Amino acid sequence: AKGYACIPLHEGSKVPKVAWKPFQTTKPTAEQYERWFAGNSRDNIALLTTGMILFDADDPAEVDFIVDRCGATPY
């Protein structure tokens, strides 16, 4: 609803369950989302970040390191 594209990742990993490249330009359909995430799915979710650079920091100290070297971002 917010216009982002998400795809499923294998449970407990960062490995995509579907080919992600097509969804950089075409959003998944409601039917695809239903099929991917229906029921008791425990799959992880990847947010495709086309047009931006995203740093995934698991430790707050890493955030400071990244901002110090790359600058602040509204994202």
pLDDT in tens, 34-45: 999 888 888 899
5-9, 32-36, 52-56: least confident range: 52-56
Question: In one letter, which amino acid is 24?
Answer: Q
Task: Work out the pLDDT band at 55, boundaries 50, 70, 90.
Answer: confident
- Is 0.75 topped by the overall pTM? no
What tokens appear for 71 in the block?
A: 């600058």
For residue 67, the tally of other CB atoms under 10 A from its CB is 13
Mapping DSSP onto H, E and C, the string for the chain reads CCCCEEEEECCCCCCECCCCHHHHCCCCCHHHHHHHHCCCCCCEEEEECCCCCCCCCCCHHHHHHHHHHHCCCCC
